[in-house]
Amino acid sequence: MSEFEPDAAAAVERAVEALAGRRIALLTGAGVSTDSGIPDYRGDGAPRRAPMTGQQFLADDAARRRYWIGSHLGWQRFSSIVPNAGHRAVAALEDAGIATGVVTQNVDGLHVRAGSRRVVDLHGTMNRVFCLRCGQGYAREDVSTMLERDNPWIAVSPEVALGPDGDVRPESADGFVVPACTVCGGMLKPDVVFFGEFIPAERFREAEAIVHGSEALLVAGSSLVVNSGIRLVERARRRALPIVIVNRGETRADARATVKVDAGASEVLSALADRLPALPGRD
């Protein structure tokens, strides 16, 4: 445990005691992906941002152009980012029969790329796009090809500042051609929950099912400012499940935690994956 400060090392020991022998649901936030090079929303040094709202996207052509060019420029870098040790540790916990699944507030798809099989993308994923009129779905790579065909001048510098949702702030969107559905000509939207939108009820029920089928909840890399995360913590608290929170700095649920570990998500998740005993035959 020498990689941790004394207080964090003691907290990790308590977390191991609280979680050992239990089936664990995981809830992850932006702090799990910072070691992959994706910035946090609220941590030290987080970029100031005015998130796109669903209403703006639907109603304002100029805002929609700005969103698509910024999203595409970010995607060119976002898509090359790889999972880190924290993502791999989560996948290892599932392989060991310990984790029942992972509910993530991130839209980066890194848990799946790391090998996790049961993943609920609570806020959607940047990897998919769909038509708001006919429902046709697209892989993000295909939409990127369309964008580059219609906007051949697009390029991104490797030094561009990447945003938490895989976007950048474009200097100008003048002349940018917004993609349209190739089936019906309708408006395309990334499969992400914009600020002010509701999480689809079916998706939240899937997240609840992971928590309901578990004997403990492990929260990693989330300050739990978003209500959806707090709701899942509350589901666990009402069932008197052990709740372990791993996050640098305070969270909204610290008072409800059985154990709070104030340390980096990658380091703590890796330590837990190494130390928690496998649960063979429990899937």
Provide block-wise average pLDDT over 10 residues at a time, the chain (283 residues): 84 98 97 89 51 87 87 77 96 98 95 97 93 96 91 60 47 76 96 91 97 98 94 97 97 97 97 95 53
| Number of structural domains found in the chain | 1
Distance CA 278, CA 254 (A): 27
Position 252, amino acid: R
What residue has token string 């709070």? 260
Give a yes or no: residue 233 inside a domain: yes
Candidate list 72, 87, 111, 123, residue with the active-site label: 123
Give a yes or no: residue 26 inside a domain: yes
Regarding beta strands 137-139 and 124-131, do their DSSP bridges make them parallel or antiparallel, or are they unpaired? Answer: antiparallel
pLDDT of residue 162: 44
Give a yes or no: residue 222 inside a domain: yes
Domain ranges, residue 92: 6-41+50-275
pLDDT of residue 154: 72
pLDDT of residue 94: 97
Give a yes or no: residue 140 inside a domain: yes
Give a yes or no: residue 283 inside a domain: no
Give a yes or no: residue 282 inside a domain: no
For the whole prediction, is pTM greater than 0.75? yes
Give a yes or no: residue 235 inside a domain: yes
Q: Is there a catalytic annotation at residue 123?
A: yes
pLDDT of residue 161: 47
Give a yes or no: residue 280 inside a domain: no
Distance CA 231, CA 209 (A): 13
pLDDT of residue 167: 47
Distance CA 222, CA 246 (A): 8
- Per the CB < 8 A criterion, the answer to whether 162 and 77 are in contact is yes
Kindly report the CATH number assigned to the domain that includes residue 122. 3.40.50.1220
> Long-range contacts for 53-56 (Cβ within 8 Å, ≥24 apart)?
53/194, 53/195, 53/196, 53/197, 54/194, 54/195, 54/196, 54/197, 55/196
